[in-house]
Each structure stands twice: as C-alpha cells, then as structure tokens.
Amino acid sequence: MIDFELTEAQQNIKEFLHWFAKNKMRPISLQADKEGDVPREFLTDVMGLGISSGDVFLGEAEAGEVVRDDQGRSQKARISMIASEELAWGDPALIISFPGPGLGAPPVKILGTPEQKKRFFEIFKDKSEPRWGAYALTEPGAGSDAAAISTTAVKNGDHYILNGRKCFITNGARASWIVVFATVDPKLGRDGHRVFVVEKGTPGFYPGRIEEKMGLRASETAELIFEECRVAIENLLGGEEYYEVKAKEGFKAAMKTFDATRPIVGAMAVGIARASYEIVKDWAKENNLFTSLLPRFRGLRDSLNYMEREIDAARLLCWRAAWMIDEELPNSKEAAMAKVYAAQVVANVTSKAIEIMGVHGCLWENLVEKLYRDQKVYDIFEGTGQIQRIIISRRIFESM
C-alpha cells in the first residue's frame, strides 16, 4: 500500500534541499541562464554539501547502496522524487548540471560487472574536482526510436572500434566517462545493441557542437563524435559473454534506465510548475487581485485552483511510479503516465502564469519567463509525450 506520509528523515531531506534551492540556486538562476554556464563556486558548494547527481536522480551513488526505512523497505526512489522536485523548484538547469554519474549510472548498475561498477563509480568519491558521467543514446536519426541507432561497434582484437555520432547529450563534453549505445550489426536490430563506457581522452572520441538552447541554457548539451574510436573490451558493460546469453540486454538496459528516470523527470516538472504557481500567486496577492469583485479576478481564483489541483495530481503519479521502483515492481506504464502527465501540467501551469501576469511575466528579470522556456523540453527528453502514450497503450492492451 502506498504511504504518502513522509518519514521524519524524508521531511528533513526535503527541508534541507528546499533551503539549498532557495538560498544557493535561486539567487544565481537568472544570471546562469543569461551566461549559459554554471558558476564554479556553485559546483564547489554542491560537492561540499555531499549532493551528487547519482544521489539526486537515483537515491544511490554506489552500486548496491540502498536507502531503507525502519522496516527495511527501500526509499531510494521516493527520496529521488522529493529531491528532484525541490531542486527543480530552485532551478531546473542547475539540477541537471550537478556533478556525479547522473544518467550514466543506471546502465552501469544494471549491466556492469562488480569490477566495472567499482572502477567507474570510484572516481566520484574524489571531491577535489567536479566530475560527471553521461548517457549517450540519441542520434540524429534515432531519437524516439532507440532501436534504430546506427553508431557501429566492430570488434578488433581486444578492442571495439566505434563510429558514429550522438546528439543532445547532457554533460557530454565535460563527462569523465559516457555510457554509449552502439550496434555490432544494424540488421540484428535490438539483438545487436551493445553498451560501452567510453572514457574522456579515448583516441577517436571528441565532443562536437555545444547546443544553444531555448531553455535549460545553463546546462551543457553536446554533440559527441566517434571516428575509429578504440574502446577496450574491458569497457563493454557486462562483458561479451553476457550478450551471448542475453542478446537484447543492451536495448533492455536503455529501457530500464527510462523506467527509473521518467518519474524523476516528472518530479522535476512538478517542481517547475510549483515554482511558477507560487510566483504568480504571490504576485496576485501583492497586487491586491484577490480583493476585486470583477469577473476576471474570480477567474484568477479558478485558475489558481486548477494549477494547484493539477500539480498535486502529477506529484501523486510520480510518487506511485517511484513506490513501484522501491517495491521492485514493473513500472513502465506508470513511469510513462507520470512523465507525460507532469509534462502537460508544467506546460499548462507556466502558460497560465504568463497569461495572468501579462507583460510582467514576459520580462527577462522575472523567473516565470525562464521557467516557461525551461519546461518545454520536459515533453521531449527521456521519450517524447507521443512515445509515452504509445507505451501506455501497449501496456494496457498487454493486460487485456
């Protein structure tokens, strides 16, 4: 049974992260957006407080490390929901710039050998310099259709030779290592997928264009290029024998990653929506709009009612998907529902906030304008809204 009551420990985490979001993230949010970069001092603060993208997005930074409650039940996904909402409330671009393994962590945990997990996670214990991991699946010709990747991996002695391009990779240019999906034979479809960890400085691998984006401007989004890139066989996650026994495991690792991260993306969208709602509510109060008897101001109350109701509904969908992760239950449908609904909610809430505030909401110095730009990608990355609806439909028909 899902329990929506936060434990004392969870409430303490929530309050601490809200303090951090309010006092460390909000003050630099607009400036970081304009400059398109994250201040070094902020990254130092993040590491000094022990916050990492591995912890924020997964509830665990190391393989096998799980947060549990007094009854021994896993709490890692629930904590990820709390953290993602609070920190996205602070600034959604800064949260995805936190040092740590980030989205690269799930495939390493799912597929990696004990030696690989130790090797690739070990570097994040050193807090003297910020380090990132990254996840590279998307290609110019393979976005929503992950099975259509064309980056090739050809065995050559004790190495694989990778050729291809990846695009829209978060923290890709600065990552210490990147989880890269490639195919040993495009004709094999999903059976041909292999998952490699490509380390920074590997010959034949280099970053390409850093994207200029409408939203999340402070975060790094990079093109990655592989030209005769020699990757040691030791960097094939799971080892060759693993794929001989379980041919589709490379593709499944990508899908399992999404099942874990889509509720987190939904929770971040909830945080953005909540921030917009609180800003417009305070603005309306400061301008005495609640005291007017004119019909348009009665409509304002209806709009705020709608915004809060939708935010709560989206949050509960995210928490349900997270609860299923903690209970080790299949959650593909619920993860897709959480993401697609939260993306719709944040789009509607930020749009209504701009509508209510009028020209004031469109000014660059107003956080609502930035949040309106930031939210658009939440219906795109980690699987578009259209793809989520397909997943939901498939799961419904499978259960009939």
| Residue 348, pLDDT above cutoff 50 | yes
165-176 average pLDDT score? 96
Q: What is the pLDDT of residues 88-143, one digit of tens each?
A: 999 999 999 999 999 899 899 888 999 999 999 999 988 888 999 999 999 998 87
Least confident of 82-86, 250-254, 265-269: 250-254
One domain for residues 91 and 140: no
Whether 200 maps to a domain, the answer reads yes
188-194 average pLDDT score? 86
Taking CA atoms, 357 is separated from 177, 216, 263, 289, 350, in Å, by 44, 22, 30, 11, 11
For 178-239, give the DSSP string. EEEEEES-GGGGGGGEEEEEEETT-TTEEEEEEPP-SS-TTS-EEEEEEEEEEEEGGGBTT-
One domain for residues 236 and 276: no
pLDDT at 98: 94
Distance CA 191, CA 127 (A): 39
pLDDT at 248: 63
One domain for residues 189 and 320: no
Least confident of 44-58, 202-216, 271-285: 44-58
Task: Provide the mean pLDDT of the chain.
Answer: 89
One domain for residues 205 and 256: no
One domain for residues 394 and 255: yes
pLDDT at 82: 95
The residue among 107, 122, 154 that closes a domain is 107
Whether 122 maps to a domain, the answer reads no
- Given the residues 199, 286, 382, 398, the one annotated as active site: 382
319-329 average pLDDT score? 93
Where are the alpha helices (H) located in 21-138, listed in sequence order?
26-35, 40-48, 53-58, 76-90, 92-95, 105-111, 114-122
66-70, 186-190, 334-338: which has the highest mean pLDDT?
A: 334-338
Distance CA 34, CA 80 (A): 28
Whether 3 maps to a domain, the answer reads no
Residue 145, burial from CB neighbour count under 10 angstroms (0-12, 13-18, 19+): exposed
Instruction: Tell me which H or E stretch contains 134.
Output: strand 133-136
One domain for residues 271 and 366: yes
- Say if CB 146 and CB 104 are below 8 A apart: no
pLDDT at 171: 96
Distance CA 392, CA 353 (A): 30
Least confident of 12-16, 228-232, 236-240, 256-260: 256-260
CB atoms closer than 10 angstroms to residue 287:
12
The residue among 247, 267, 282 that closes a domain is 247
Whether 120 maps to a domain, the answer reads no
Whether 340 maps to a domain, the answer reads yes
- We report the CATH number of the domain holding residue 309 as 1.20.140.10
- We report the CATH number of the domain holding residue 95 as 1.10.540.10
The residue among 247, 281, 305 that closes a domain is 247
Whether 114 maps to a domain, the answer reads no
One domain for residues 30 and 98: yes
Whether 113 maps to a domain, the answer reads no
pLDDT at 344: 97
Does residue 139 carry a catalytic annotation?
Answer: no
One domain for residues 260 and 330: yes
235-261 average pLDDT score? 78
- Say if CB 98 and CB 51 are below 8 A apart: yes
| Residue 250, pLDDT above cutoff 80 | no
Q: Residue 286 belongs to what domain range?
A: 251-398
pLDDT band at 294 (very low <50, low <70, confident <90, very high): low
One domain for residues 13 and 42: yes
| Residue 268, pLDDT above cutoff 80 | yes
pLDDT at 1: 67
End-to-end CA distance of the chain: 24
149-177 average pLDDT score? 96
Distance CA 283, CA 278 (A): 8
Enter the DSSP assignment of 46. Answer: H
153-167 average pLDDT score? 96
> What is the total count of domains within the chain?
3
One domain for residues 89 and 198: no
59: left (phi over 0), alpha (psi -120 to 50) or beta: left
One domain for residues 381 and 293: yes
pLDDT band at 384 (very low <50, low <70, confident <90, very high): confident
393-398 average pLDDT score? 90
One domain for residues 271 and 386: yes
What the block records as the tokens of 191 is 């059976």
Residue 161, beta-bridge partner list:
154, 230
Least confident of 38-42, 112-116, 139-143, 229-233: 139-143
Whether 152 maps to a domain, the answer reads yes
Q: Specify the pTM.
A: 0.90
- Say if CB 151 and CB 165 are below 8 A apart: yes
- We report the CATH number of the domain holding residue 135 as 2.40.110.10
pLDDT at 244: 75
